[in-house]
Each structure stands twice: as C-alpha cells, then as structure tokens.
A and B are shown apart, each in its own frame.
Chain A
Amino acid sequence: MTTKTGDVGSRSKFAVDFQDLFTYLKCMPEKSLQKLFESPAACLSVFRVLPSFAQIILCQMVFLEKPVPRTVIDSWADKNHQNDVQEAVSALDTLGIWKNASGHTSVLAYVMSSRFRDNFRVCLLGGGKPWILQAKSESDPKKTRDAPFLDKYAQERWDCVLNYMASESSRSGSNQVMSKGQKDLTVSQDTKLVLRTAGLMVCDDGSEERITSAGFQFLLMPRPEQVWFFLTHYLSLVESRYACDVSVCLGFLCELSLSDLGQCYNSEKFGIELQTVLQHLRELGIVYQRKVRPDGDGALVRKEGLFYPTRLALGLASGLKNSSVLSWREAEEAAQAGFLIVETNYRVYAYTESELPISLLAMFTEMLHRFPGMVVAVLTRDSVRMALKMGLTAAQIVDFLKMNAHPEMRRRMLASGGSSVIPPTVSDQIHLWEKERDRITLTDGVAYNQFLSLSEYEAMRDFAREKGIAIWESNQRKTVVVAKENHEEMKRFWRKHSRP
C-alpha cells in the first residue's frame, strides 16, 4: 500500500543527487570551483561534461583576451537553437567559467575566467606545472601489472563493499544463505562512514548496521554509477574528516580519470592528505598498490610510491556516458556472463560460486536449495513484496534478472522467437505484485464542504485551483480537498474572503 502520510521516501525511487560531474559541479561553491580550475586535468574534465554548445563557445573564446558581446555569441547558433545557447550561457555562468565583462557599457559581454582559460590552454598546448600524477615505470618489468589483473582486482575490492552491504542485510533477514570467511570481507570504518553518510546503511542502536531501501537500490545499480554515487558522498567528507581540500581531491580524481590503464604512477611526492585519499581509493579498488617484502623483513607491506589506476578510475569524472565506462561495462558483462535461469514456475537457478549475486538474489527470492556452484530459489509473492517494501521496484528486479540471464536463456528466446529473456509470465507477475501495493493511495488532507452559497464554494475552489493545491474537488458536492500542509494558506484566504 502506498501511504503518503508516513513512508513516502521509501516508496519513491531514491534520487541520485548528482547524476554526473556536471550536476555535481553546479552545486559546488564558487571558491572551490575556482580552486579546482587550477588543475588542467580538471579543466579538461569540466570541458568534457559541458553542454555541447558551451564547448563551442569555449573553443571560440579560449584564445581571445577581450570580451565577447552576447549578440556575437547568439549569432553562432541559428534561430532554432537559441535554447541551446541559453543552456550553455547558464552553465558557463553557474560554473564561473566566464565573467560578465560589460563594465560601464550597456552591451552585455563575457570574458573567460583567466584561471580556467590559462589551464585549459595548458591542456591543449601542453606545458604548465607538472601534474600530481607522474608516470613511473616499475624497477622490475616482470612485476608490471596488466589490464586483466587490474580489472580483477578492482572487481574484487568493489565486490567487497557490496558484499558487506548485502551480507549485513541477509544476516538480519530470514535468509541465512551467506557463508562467510573465504575472502577478506573487511570494510574499513572510513568506507562504512561514507555508506552511512550516503544513507545507504543506517546504524539503529549504535551497534548493528542495517541496509536502507536506498542501499538496496544502490546494489542493483550499474557499477560505474555506484562508484560515482559513492565518491560524491566521499567528497562531502574529505574536507571535514581528512583535512583534504575538496577541490584538490576532485582535481586528483580528474587526473586519475585521464590516466592510462596498466601504467604505473609515482605517489612519493604526494602530501599526507592525498596519501590518505590514495589509501581509501585503494581499498575501493579504484587504484592498485602492490604489496612488497622490504629487504630482510618478512611481513608484506604496501610499497608506497607506486600505484596503478584501475578501470574504475578511468572515465570516472567524465560522467557516465564516457566510452571507457562503456568498455568497463562490457568487460564486466563478459566477466560474469549471465548465470541465472528463470523458469515459468517462478523458480530461479543461479549458477555461480560468488557470494554477491547470491545475496542480491536473496533480497527478493526465497532460497530453496544450495549446492556447490548452484543455488535454487523461488520468486514468491511474499519474497517480492518484502523487497518492494524495502524500496526496490519491480522494474529493478526484472532488470536484474534480465541483465544476468544465462546465455542459454537468450538462446532459447531467439529460438522461440520471443522478445523477452525471462518468461513474460514471471516479469508480468512481478509487476502485478507491485501494482497490487498501489491500490490505495493515502494523502493527509483537509476537506471543506457545506458552503452556504455557491459563490463561497467557487471562491474557495478557484483559489485552490489557482495555487494548484486542490487534490480533489467536485462542483456537484461543493467540496474541495487540499493537502494538510496547505490548510493554513486556505484558512488565511478564507478569513480575508469572508471579512473583506
């Protein structure tokens, strides 16, 4: 059931505050933005996420020193694209990439912020100060790590975070399908803090952590979106907790996103705050650092000074439409190439050894049997309703089943000429189970009726209509209903109306 009165938050699809770098930048304070523009890598990343007409404007203006009148900018686009111009102008305004340089004249003109212009030129022409990232080759060429190794590492580390979230949920739930302890599943306090800040996990009574409905939806998101979502919340913490300037940290992430996969970088010159950030990124699998045995000493330590960015880092700051992200998605898909068979009798067979997909599956199915390399689960009304109550949507569940469908399912679909990878009866039923919960919508409201005259009713109705707050009205019954929070407004109007 939907109740707008209490748990409206858990029903609606949880909002990703910052879908990409551009929306994130728009919310950054002016000062941090200007500081961010000191990094050429950041300028390039910012340029890449701007609306395309803004990119055209910047290309025209980057080598100009004098202000460009607005009329000239307008002339670069034809009449049909004035909306694009408006969008571009407001984007450049909000990010402070250009300034109004009208001066005393009445002609509206703009000039690029000198900091952004200089560093953007560095991107195009080279030169400038050295970047934070300094490529360095391994002393021993045999120890160089290649892309497949880094992919595997990144996947393992990030799975660790997801596993932590998923296992916390299944521990408290009725499905005790997790067997723990084969892998290092520990997640640091810092990561836990970010998860809590992001509202993905909550601490009820100070001891046990619990996954939230947002957390559930997070688990089913594509991986690059997860990483970006996580990092936006990480960035909100770096300043207060790790004394690292948010612009410096974001600038560093921008440089990482432009780095090369399989290339080794030097971190010896990093300040203490970036070293801390680097360690956090390592834990998440965004960068890799090799463990080495220092001379004589037996214990393994992480060799400071050398690290490799993984695919999670590449294309990170360029938003999610970036091509390297796509290639990551392909790599990921190839790696875990569908393992789910869904039958028309609502049974789900998962052919996998790893814990994460199983605990994800356990969120909305009932586990029946578990064998080495395979689990059998069944979709029931109760299990799906449980997941819906936690805030998952039917579409997310169906997408998960589709995305992970076994190649055999695809083959069968093609052979039978069907259009859906999973049996339509199952996907329809999941949607029906969701719809069933929507049969009642409740809204806290206030009703006004038994007016003495038609004109009184009409005055009230017109006022509510005008304000767009009438949630129900009927001329026949002379009744108006508005939401509870709009009652005061109506009351004020009524007083004014009845005592002119």
Chain B
Amino acid sequence: MVQVSKGVLVTCDPPMRQFLIWLDEKEKLGRKFILLDLDSTHLFISADVVNELMEKVDEWMDRISAQVLERDD
C-alpha cells in the first residue's frame, strides 16, 4: 500500500522554511497546513492555503525590508 497525498511542493531557503514551520505550529492561518516536512529546503503543504500563505509571507518580507531611500516630502 502507498499513501498518496495531493498538495504543493514548496522549495525555499532554510530561514523561509523555519518561518513557514512557525506559521504552521502557531496555526497563524487558523489551521495546520504542512503535510510533509521533507528536508531543509522543501516542504509539502496543502494547496488550499497557498494564497493566504503568500499574503503572510509578503507581509513578513515587508516588515523585514529596510527603507533604503531618503525622501524630502
């Protein structure tokens, strides 16, 4: 017998993976979404959270990016 699961393969860098695991553990999307923790750069997640997840990641990236320009207005 074999278990077949449909989902989305996520390829990312290790810090990003940690962030996703943290989102999963704290149930920041309201539920768990990681189906398989594959290795340090791959996760297998359920497909229905993808849009929500991307928003969270974008938010996070916005928070950690520094304002590089000076403006006078």
Contacts and interface: CB of A to CB of B under 8 A. Distances in A.
Interface of A: 1, 3, 5, 345-347, 368, 378-381, 429, 436, 439-452, 456, 460, 471-472, 474, 477, 479, 481, 484, 487, 494
Interface in B6-62: 6-13, 16, 35-36, 38-39, 42, 44, 47, 50, 54, 57-58, 61
A472 B8 contact: no
B15 to A, nearest CB: 9
B2 A449 contact: yes
Question: B9, B11, B54, B58: which has the most chain A beta carbons within 10 Å?
Answer: B9
Nearest to B61: A436
Question: A378, A440, A474: which has the most chain B beta carbons within 10 Å?
Answer: A440
A472 B38 contact: yes
Contacts of B70: 345
Contacts of B6: 445-447, 484, 487
Interface of B: 1-13, 16, 35-36, 38-39, 42, 44, 47, 50, 54, 57-58, 61, 65, 67-71, 73
B34 to A, nearest CB: 12
Nearest to A457: B2
A447 B69 contact: no
A378 B70 CA distance: 9
Question: B4, B12, B13, B70: which has the most chain A beta carbons within 10 Å?
Answer: B4
A319 B14 CA distance: 46
Given A1-B57, A3-B50, A484-B6, A378 B11 contact: no
B9 A442 contact: yes
A441 B39 contact: no
A379 B69 contact: yes
A456 B2 contact: yes
Given A439-B12, A442-B8, 10 more contacts: A1-B54, A436-B61, A439-B61, A440-B11, A445-B44, A446-B4, A449-B3, A451-B1, A472-B9, A484-B6
Given A5-B50, A479-B36, A494 B2 contact: yes
7 contacts: A1-B54, A1-B57, A440-B11, A440-B16, A442-B50, A445-B8, A456-B2
A378 B69 contact: yes
B57 to A, nearest CB: 6
Nearest to A452: B1
A446 B47 CA distance: 11
Contact of B4 (A439, A447, A472): A447
Question: A1, A346, A368, A380: which has the most chain B beta carbons within 10 Å?
Answer: A1
A3 B11 CA distance: 10
B58 A450 contact: no
Contacts of A484: 6
Contacts of B1: 450-452
For the complex of A and B, the 4 pairs showing the least CB-CB separation, nearest first, are A450-B3, A445-B9, A441-B11, A346-B69
A79 B10 CA distance: 48
A1 B39 CA distance: 20
B8 A5 contact: yes
B2 A474 contact: no
Given A1-B58, A368-B71, A446-B6, A440 B42 contact: no
A346 B71 CA distance: 10
Contacts of B68: 346, 381, 429
A439 B68 CA distance: 20
A213 B38 CA distance: 34
Question: B6, B13, B16, B67: which has the most chain A beta carbons within 10 Å?
Answer: B6
B57 A440 contact: yes
Contacts of A446: 4-7
A381 B61 CA distance: 11
A443 B38 contact: no
A447 B44 contact: yes
Nearest to B65: A381
A259 to B, nearest CB: 50
A471 B3 CA distance: 17
Contact of A479 (B8, B38, B57): B38
Contacts of A494: 2
A368 B69 contact: no
Contacts of A345: 69-70
A451 B11 contact: no
Given A1-B57, A346-B69, A472-B42, A440 B12 contact: yes
Contacts of B13: 439
A460 B69 contact: no
B35 to A, nearest CB: 7
Given A436-B61, A445-B9, A474 B38 contact: yes
Contacts of B61: 436, 439
A62 B44 CA distance: 62
B49 to A, nearest CB: 11
B29 to A, nearest CB: 15
A449 B36 contact: yes
B70 to A, nearest CB: 6
A456 B3 CA distance: 12
A448 B9 CA distance: 12
A439 B7 CA distance: 19
